[in-house]
Structure 1
Amino acid sequence: MASPQDSKPHTFNPPNVPTPPPTYSQVAVTPLLPTSRLITLAGLVGQDPKTGHVVDGFDEQVKLAYQNILNALKAAGATPRDIVHVKHYIVKETGRVGVGSEDELTKVWGHHWMKFMDEEGQGHRPPDTVLGVACLATKELLYECEVWAIVSG
């Protein structure tokens, strides 16, 4: 019989994603049923886990954020195919939010997301929310991505 602790969320920081401040963990794995787990990732950014530095440029931050998401999902026993919801936070000062059409939005950062999900998530397109924000945790951050996934079995 499973202990009550087995049904509690387990949080941790994988070694191959950026170390967060002590106020939160990057990954939480929460049992839903005896055979399923909910995995929630903190908003991941374009921060190099080896150096702790945020990379320059919006596109480079987006691509590194997706690599950090992949590493965090793998550490929790999941893949991008297991993602059930995504939130994209884009700093407005980049000029990349408030675009005139969905086509324009896709050209801004969506092509990186679709490439990532085609290569790592078997073309899966989970529901998402795109938010334009005034700023993120530090001034050099231009993009952040929060992911939820469910793994069964």
Structure 2
Amino acid sequence: MKRQLINPPATGALYERLHFSQATRVGDMIWVSGQVGVDPTTMTPADGMDAQARLAFDGVRTVLEVAGAGLRDIVELTTYHTDLRGDMPVFSRVKDEYLTDRYPSWTAVGVSQLALPELLVEIRAVAVAGSGDRTGIVTSRT
């Protein structure tokens, strides 16, 4: 299998300047780099958790679409928060608007800082292209 670098057209400068891809696809697996709440037109962080979370999830969605997948194909979500306890209710509400069912595995991590001092959250994801339509929901109780 070959490795495919995924970089939507608007992110070309990031690839050249910072030397990383927005995602990497090998077969049906897609690893999405951390997406943050930066307004793509002004390149400045949005104000507040709600706005930053929406922009970050929009970034994840865009990268996955370019890679040939969608939000329903996410199998693992990792989020990094500068105020894990304080911002979690707002973040969770936004997350549930974007990931409405077939919830992925999720790890939320509190961190002291992100790439820019104004950033509140960063979202990275792992997806399996095409799995969102085929995967059943299995629950187990012991």
- TM-score, scaled relative to structure 2: 0.81
Q: Which runs of 5+ in 2 are unaligned?
A: 132-142
> Would the alpha carbon gap of residues 59 and 18 (structure 1) be closer, same or farther in structure 2, given more than 3 Å must change?
farther
Q: Which runs of 5+ in 1 are unaligned?
A: 1-6, 32-36
Pick one of 36, 46, 56 that aligns with 1:45. Answer: 36
Note the C-alpha offset of 1:98.
Answer: 3.6
Partners of 2:6 and 2:97 lie apart in 1 by 28
What is the aligned-residue identity percentage? 31
What SS does the corresponding residue of 1:77 show, helix, strand or coil?
coil
- TM-score, scaled relative to structure 1: 0.76
Aligned partner of 1:66 in structure 2 is 57
Equivalent residues in 2 for 1:85-100 (5 A)? Answer: 85-92=76-83, 97-98=84-85
Letter in 1 for 2:2: K
Partners of 1:84 and 1:40 lie apart in 2 by 10
Structure holding more helix per residue = 2
Equivalent residues in 2 for 1:7-86 (5 A)? Answer: 7-16=1-10, 19-20=13-14, 21-31=17-27, 37-86=28-77
* Paired positions, count: 129
Partners of 1:126 and 1:18 lie apart in 2 by 29
Deviation track 1:109-139 (CA, whole Å, cap 9, x = no partner) reads 1111011112xxxx12000000000000111
| RMSD of aligned alpha carbons | 2.1
